[in-house]
Amino acid sequence: MKISARNVIEGKVLEVNKGATTAHVRLDIGGAVVTASITNEAVAELGLVVGQTAFAVIKASDVMIGV
């Protein structure tokens, strides 16, 4: 599959927490942790399990930071 996003970061799945419809997937990318909210259906289709290699694909027009 080809995608237009250029920010693709490889990591390992640390945790998959499923809710009613949405799951939070935590990915270790070299000591930092990225969390993504995806559908439970997407988790099943991707076969995501703890310890698996996966990729964070980041495509955003804005990045906001607050304190």
And the tokens for 31?
Answer: 């000591």
Range of the domain at 36: 7-58
**Main-chain phi, psi angles of 31, to 5 degrees:** 105, -30
pLDDT per residue over 47-60, tens digit each?
999 999 999 998 87
* Tens-digit pLDDT profile for residues 4-33: 888 899 999 999 999 999 999 999 999 999
64 is a domain residue: no
Q: Is 39 a domain residue?
A: yes
- 67: in domain: no
Q: Is residue 1 part of a domain?
A: no
Count of domains in the chain? 1
Which CATH number covers residue 27?
Answer: 2.40.50.100
Position 2 scores a pLDDT of 82
Beta-carbon contacts of residue 13 (< 8 Å; ≥ 6 apart): 25, 26, 27, 48, 49, 50, 51, 52, 53, 54
